[in-house]
Amino acid sequence: MAVVEAVEPAGDAEEPRAVRPRERLVGVDAARGVALLGVFIAHMGVPLALLLTGGVDVHDTEKEIEGLGGTVVEWISIAVSGRSAALFAFLAGISLVLLAGRSRPGTRTERNRVRVRIAVRALILVAIGYGLAVLGSLAVILHFYGVFFLLAIPLLWLRTRHLVALAVAVALIGPQATLAAQYLMPVDGWFQSVSDEEEWTEKDESEWASTWGDPEWAESKEAYWSSLEGSDGEDPFSEEGSLEGMPLFTFDMLEGPLDFLFLGLYPAAVFMAYVLAGMIVARTGLRSRRVRLWLVGAGVGMAALGYGSSWLLLGPLSRFLPEDGEYVSWWSLFEAYSHSNTTVEVVGNTGVAMAVIGLCLLMAETRPARIALYPIGAIGAMTLTLYTAHGVLLWAVYGTLLPAWAWPVETYTVEITLVVSLVFATVWRLTLGAGPMERPTTAISRWAARVVVRDGSDATAPAVRRDPAVQEPAANEPAAKE
Nearest Cα residue to 149 out of 121, 182, 130, 180 = 121
What distance in Å separates the CA atoms of residue 421 and residue 189, rounded to the nearest whole number? 32
Over the stretch 376-418, which tens digit does the pLDDT of each residue have? Answer: 999 999 999 999 999 999 888 887 787 878 778 887 888 899 9
Answer yes or no: is pLDDT of 281 > 50.
yes
196 pLDDT higher than 50: no
Angle between helices 343-363 and 268-283 (to 10 degrees): 30
Cβ atoms 126, 146 nearer than 8 A: yes
CB contact at 8 A, 110 and 463:
no
User: Where does the pLDDT of residue 173 fall: very low under 50, low under 70, confident under 90, or very high at 90 and above?
Assistant: very high
Burial 169-195 (b: 16+ CB within 10 A, else e): ebbeebbeebbebbeeeebebbbeeee
What is the percentage of the chain residues whose pLDDT exceeds 70?
A: 68
Looking at residue 240, what is its pLDDT? 43
pLDDT: which is higher, 232 or 182 = 182
pTM equals 0.78
Does the pLDDT at position 57 exceed 80?
Answer: no
pLDDT digits (tens, 9 = 90+) for 112-157: 889 999 999 999 999 999 999 988 878 889 999 999 999 999 999 8
pLDDT value, residue 332: 80
Mean pLDDT score of the chain: 77
